[in-house]
């Protein structure tokens, strides 16, 4: 299985490891309610991140620890846990019997793979992306800003989605201009949408199937009906940072350039799982985003409160993308 450019093998709980898969980047063991392998429990554990958000019982929604020098442990509010080795080549998952395995796979294909990519030297942004005229167009923003909904709106218009939630960047150097560019790796074949987004796009929230986890998210299968994800990475053409709505805006949709430090900070603020990264990983990501902000347009997209029509948003983005390409 290929996820964001990683060749992933999953073993356990109905997922049989493919022994003929060739070179594997990430080997995942699904342990369910079983104990961790004994050798993973002997290292001293040091908590390096505790989420400020808590569940109904007042427990943090996520705690991340370093286990000795060799492992990270991620513990979620629902009792699910993941261990990841420092090279980003092995991962283990265990969870209470009450949780469906779909919940674990959703987390694995999102936060865990994003974290693994950082460990392996591939910075990731908290973003979704689609392909417009042969180039990737990314949508950044905080949780709930509309990244997935915007990508799904373009899918409804016939464009190809590239990735949802986790955007993995790949640097490419060439002898011809541009001498340097950044590519976006194809992600998992699902866009996860909140019920109100499904209703806005399809007319009813049950128009898409439930994702099989404990959330109310619906799944838009990107490879359904004969559709395909791109076979390989796609050059990144533009980044749109989705901002809060502004009732005082003088037009339905505003798109403004972010320059220099402002553009860089917009990218840094939306580094995927930036709260887990140590100083070395943060420095490496900062270098990538500095280069990226100098090469690719970073735009702020703002809509009025009464500009909830997704058609107006996609029209504005499409016109902006093509106007910039024509100027060249």
Q: 98-115: per-residue pLDDT in tens?
A: 988 888 988 898 889 999
Give CA–CA dist 261/130, Å, rounded. Answer: 26
| Whether residue 139 sits in one domain with residue 43 | no
| Whether residue 241 sits in one domain with residue 221 | yes
- pLDDT at residue 203 in the model: 86
- pLDDT at residue 39 in the model: 72
| Whether residue 67 sits in one domain with residue 145 | no
| Whether residue 306 sits in one domain with residue 209 | yes
Q: Which residues of the chain have pLDDT under 70?
A: 13-22, 174-178, 223-227, 305-308, 328
The 3-state DSSP class for residue 172 equals strand
Q: Are strands 234-242 and 135-140 parallel, antiparallel or unpaired?
A: parallel
- pLDDT at residue 88 in the model: 93
Q: Rounded to 5 degrees, what are φ and ψ at 320? A: -65, -45
Please identify, among 60, 85, 119, the residue that sits at the C-terminal boundary of a domain.
Answer: 119
| Whether residue 267 sits in one domain with residue 155 | yes
The fraction of the chain above a pLDDT of 70, given in percent, is 92
Among residues 3, 264, 327, 316, the alpha carbon closest in space to that of 137 is found at: 316
| Whether residue 53 sits in one domain with residue 191 | no
* CATH number where 287 lies: 3.40.50
| Whether residue 83 sits in one domain with residue 51 | yes
- pLDDT at residue 171 in the model: 87
Please identify, among 119, 138, 163, the residue that sits at the C-terminal boundary of a domain.
Answer: 119
Please identify, among 102, 119, 136, the residue that sits at the C-terminal boundary of a domain.
Answer: 119
Chain mean position to CA 114: 7
Is-above-0.85 flag for pTM? yes
Tally of domains in the chain: 2
The fraction of the chain above a pLDDT of 90, given in percent, is 38
Report whether 29 contacts 92 (CB < 8 A): yes
- pLDDT at residue 281 in the model: 79
Among residues 172, 169, 171, 150, the alpha carbon closest in space to that of 161 is found at: 150
- Around 138, how many Cα atoms within 13 Å sit in the side-chain half-sphere? 33
Domain housing 248: 124-327
């Amino acid at each position: 299985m290929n996820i964001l450019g990683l060749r992933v093998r999953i073993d356990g709980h109905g997922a049989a490891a493919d022994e003929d898969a060739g070179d594997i980047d990430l080997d995942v063991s699904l342990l369910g309610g079983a104990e961790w392998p004994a050798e993973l429990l002997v290292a001293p554990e040091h908590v390096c991140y505790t989420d400020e958000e808590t569940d109904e019982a007042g427990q943090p929604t996520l705690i991340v620890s370093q286990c000795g020098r060799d492992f990270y442990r991620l513990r979620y509010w629902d009792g699910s846990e993941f261990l990841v080795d420092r090279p980003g080549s092995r991962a283990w998952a265990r969870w209470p019997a009450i949780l469906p395995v779909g919940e674990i796979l959703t987390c694995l294909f999102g936060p865990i793979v994003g974290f693994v990519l950082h460990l392996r030297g591939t910075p990731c942004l908290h973003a979704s992306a689609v392909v417009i005229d042969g180039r990737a167009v990314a949508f950044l923003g905080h949780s709930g800003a509309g990244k997935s909904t915007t990508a799904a709106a373009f899918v409804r218009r016939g464009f190809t989605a590239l990735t949802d939630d986790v955007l993995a960047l790949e640097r490419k150097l060439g002898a011809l201009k541009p001498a340097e560019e950044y590519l976006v790796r194809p992600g998992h074949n699902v866009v996860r949408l909140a019920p109100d987004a499904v209703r806005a796009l399809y007319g009813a929230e049950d128009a898409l199937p439930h994702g099989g986890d404990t959330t109310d998210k619906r799944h838009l299968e990107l490879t359904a009906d004969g559709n395909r994800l791109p076979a390989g990475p796609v050059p990144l053409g533009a980044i749109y940072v989705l901002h809060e709505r502004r009732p005082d805006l003088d037009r339905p949709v505003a798109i403004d350039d972010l320059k220099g430090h402002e553009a860089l900070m917009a990218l840094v603020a939306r580094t995927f799982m930036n709260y887990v990264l140590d100083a070395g990983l943060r420095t490496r990501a900062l270098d990538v985003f500095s280069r990226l902000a100098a090469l690719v347009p970073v735009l702020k997209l703002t809509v009025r409160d009464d500009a909830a029509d997704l058609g107006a948003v996609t029209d504005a983005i499409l016109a902006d993308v093509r106007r910039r390409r024509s100027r060249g």
